[in-house]
Structure 1
């Protein structure tokens, strides 16, 4: 037990102080967005919107996220990651507070759309900051630490949100969300001021290549869209499958989803450190991660044993733990060829696209074709993503 604890602590060594501060700011920001899991309930119960209206509002949410990711990358290339992060955190805090005063359907659609544009400018800017604050050999583990902060924030946020709703009502969420974003911006101002912060990787490209003209990177982004398309099913269609096909209660479904977060928190950093020592290519690891995610869906159609749900969640979680850090590291490494904001924005946009289309596809496919067809189609999508990654691997080997 002591050796396991020592290995776990050792896996965090070598990361810069700035990366730790950036992780804390991300944790505060993610925990602060506790209004998001309760948004549909708030719109239905407090505002009185119909289910159809709520669906449109959530589409505005996804569209704003996509545009925000693109805009954040563009602004980062023009003004630098620090100014964009500061602007995004502070302004989104003010917008969160203001959202509670919108009660008309169209104003809520516009408000959510604008809020997500501003809020998701943060993501590509934070990725570029991570490039600057990390030594080249620590980038994958730095990404993993940020992912831990995001997972902790998403775990703590809904729990805190439930307490706030019980004591202060839904309006309290908007105040707490806004205040935490503003506090995160103040912390950024204090601890990551460009004058004080150490830049570990300041390589500049004198003739930067646009991400939009990088064919290799577009193939990679397409693979990430397909990976995201499979991955997000575990947070929309798969819980419905647990309930319909296996009659699991909300409590048991919650335990399965909680297992995902616990495993990531406990094992992702040591796993990434171990895999880095094996010295395989990053693309190879992303391929392996996507294979595990695809396999988790294939097994749902092969076995009817209830335990396969645990096995499937375990495979998906391990696949996620491997694919996300290494794919992010590929994006950061590739971004050194040109405009880093554009490169990291496209990486964020890949998953925004997945969110916009994947949930909708999964729900409609289940309704019209059933679970067996849907899981087979998701498996096929994973196989196509794997094929694209194998093409990238061959290109990488050929260019060595």
Structure 2
């Protein structure tokens, strides 16, 4: 039985191209070094002494930069190619992270976060398009899961190491680590992977069908984008309000918060690829899996209202982690599957922009609700928003049924 399980587990990692493995490796290096984000709200609140509202405002600029960067990254990927965008984005943002530690004023931090995230998040739609170029069509969902596995393995290591760096040398060490890993990762990618030229899409090849199914006429995709936005607002509380909640309600240190976040990454690393392999073998509908992921993420925040013991905190983390494993690989795959040929960058840009818009509102809204009504009101509001996203999927399902009839 164990031998069969091990064989099936290993089979989930077969069939990928050399480029996909290299992309996975540099994603792990980059993500392991991304130690600033999980502690950014704590850094702004405790080291720079910003108010809750100021922290939320800075995170809004973080999201606004991410929104603009995602749009630019997708548009330019279609125009000049994903490869150039990936190299420019990671290398330049790595340099900018070095300078972030010297910004200490509120207005300076707002401007700095906007500029850094505009450049840094040009990478995301470009990287998603690269998966479509380097992965075989039948392997794309698993390739997305593999890259997410690298992200979560890096995420498992990064926060724990980041917590130790904060205790040992302070927050400035995080900015040096983040910038260095961005630059090292993209230099490895550029030296090991050759650019894959995209076949130009001639104007005369753009059929009326392609125009008819452009993104703003794609009702199912627009509803799906709202679902992505709602789920992302809920999920991003993990990086803004939850670290403060750990400290204020449970008295946890940065290191303890890092360990909890690392547990999330370890579970995803161990189980996501087997889940994806199982779902593909059973040919379970992507939309059904996305539905369950949205539902579990929403429920995880309702659970936090029962703030009695550490066990509740861990139970909520389990629901959030399983929701994340179900939702993100298949939401990526669903977004890519809706894109007509030649418009992949635009579709993936709007998909990543939904997450950027969530960055704009998630921290600000979460911090504002905490200031006015406390943590429990925030968790109820987030759970309810997630449920609205779940309801959108029912409508998407009805649209897809009509399309297939």
TM-score range, shorter chain: 0.7 to 0.9
Worse overlay, 299-308 or 331-340: 299-308
Q: Could you tell me which residue of structure 1 aligns to residue 147 of structure 2?
A: 146
**1:245-260 alignment, distance < 5 Å:** 247=250, 249-250=252-253, 255-260=259-264
**Alignment correspondent of 2:125:** 124
Q: Is the 8 A contact 2:157 2:262 kept in 1?
A: no
Q: Establish whether residue 80 from structure 1 lines up as the match of residue 81 from structure 2.
A: yes
Q: How many residues align?
A: 394
Using the TM superposition, give the Cα deviation of residue 232 of structure 1 relative to its aligned residue in structure 2, in angstroms: 2.5
- Structure 1 residue 149: Cα displacement: 1.4
- Structure 1 residue aligned with 2:333: 329
Contact between 1:72 and 1:122, CA under 8 Å: does it hold in 2? yes
CA distance in 2, matches of 1:386, 1:36: 27
Cα distance, 1:130 vs. partner? 0.7
Deviation at 1:2, TM superposition (A): 4.2
Cα distance in structure 2, aligned partners of 1:263 and 1:135: 27
* Distance change in 2, residues 1:94/1:271 (3 Å): same
Query: Within the alignment, does 1:272 sit opposite 2:276 as a pair?
Result: yes
Distance in 1 between the 2:382 and 2:105 partners? 38
Report how far residue 151 of structure 1 moved.
1.6
- For residues 254 and 175 of structure 1, what CA distance do their matches in structure 2 show? 18
What is the alpha-carbon distance in structure 1 between the residues aligned to residue 40 and residue 256 of structure 2? 23
**Corresponding residue for 1:356?**
360
Cα displacement (A) at 1:172: 4.5
Q: 1:109 to 1:369 in 2, by over 3 A?
A: closer
Deviation track 1:93-113 (CA, whole Å, cap 9, x = no partner) reads 222234445566544433332
1:346 and 2:350 matched = yes
Q: Shift of the alpha carbon at 1:305?
A: 7.2
What are the Cα deviations for residues 227-262 of structure 1, in whole angstroms up to 9, with x where unaligned?
1122223444455556666x4644766554433222
Which has the larger displacement, 133-142 or 161-170? 161-170
Post-superposition offset of 1:389:
0.8
Instruction: Map 1:85-104 onto structure 2 (within 5 A).
Output: 85-100=86-101, 102=103
Q: Is the 8 A contact 1:49 1:105 kept in 2?
A: no
Q: Which moved more, 1:34-43 or 1:121-130?
A: 34-43
Q: Which runs of 5+ in 2 are unaligned?
A: none
- Equivalent position of 1:17 in the other structure: 18
Which residue of structure 2 lines up, in the alignment, with residue 284 of structure 1? Answer: 288
Shift of 1:55: 4.6
Residue 219 of structure 1, aligned match among 194, 203, 223? 223
For normalisation by structure 2, the TM-score amounts to 0.85
Q: 1:366 to 1:55 in 2, by over 3 A?
A: closer
- Taking the TM superposition and a 5 Å limit, the aligned residue runs for 1:150-165 are 150-162=151-163, 164=165
In 1: Cα distance, 2:341 partner to 2:218 partner = 9
Secondary structure of 2:323's counterpart equals helix
> After superposition, what is the alpha-carbon deviation per residue over 1:341-397, rounded to whole angstroms, capped at 9, x for unaligned?
111111111112222212332333344345554444333322221121111111112
The separation in 2 between residues aligned to 1:15 and 1:122, in whole angstroms, is 21
Q: Does 1:382 align with 2:386?
A: yes
- Note the C-alpha offset of 1:53: 5.1
Change (3 A) 1:396 1:338: farther
Of 225, 232, 236, which aligns to 1:232? 236
Aligned alpha-carbon RMSD (Å): 3.1
* Paired position in structure 1 for 2:185: 184
Question: Helix, strand or coil for the counterpart of 2:13?
Answer: coil
Judge conservation of contact 1:211–1:338 (CA < 8 Å) in 2: no
SS at match of 1:194: coil
TM-score normalised to structure 1 length: 0.86
Distance 1:341 1:273 in 2: 26
- Relative to structure 1, is the Cα distance of residues 233 and 216 closer, same or farther in structure 2, using a 3 angstrom cutoff? same
Is the contact made by 2:36 and 2:178 (CA closer than 8 Å) also made in structure 1?
yes
Contact 2:70 2:122 in 1 (8 A): yes
Deviates more, 1:6-15 or 1:300-309: 300-309
Report the alpha carbon displacement of residue 181 of structure 1 after superposing the two structures with TM.
2.0
Whole-angstrom CA distance in 2 between matches of 1:260 and 1:117: 27
Does the CA contact (< 8 Å) of 1:220 and 1:389 recur in 2?
A: yes
SS at 2:270's partner residue?
helix
Moved more, 86-95 or 356-365: 356-365
Partner in structure 1 of residue 33 of structure 2? 32
The answer to whether the 8 Å contact 1:293/1:382 transfers is: yes
Note if 1:67 corresponds to 2:71. Answer: no
> Of 312, 318, 321, which aligns to 1:314?
318
Q: Structure 1, unaligned stretches of length 5 or more?
A: none
- Kindly indicate whether the alpha-carbon contact (under 8 Å) linking 2:78 and 2:342 is maintained by their aligned counterparts in 1: no
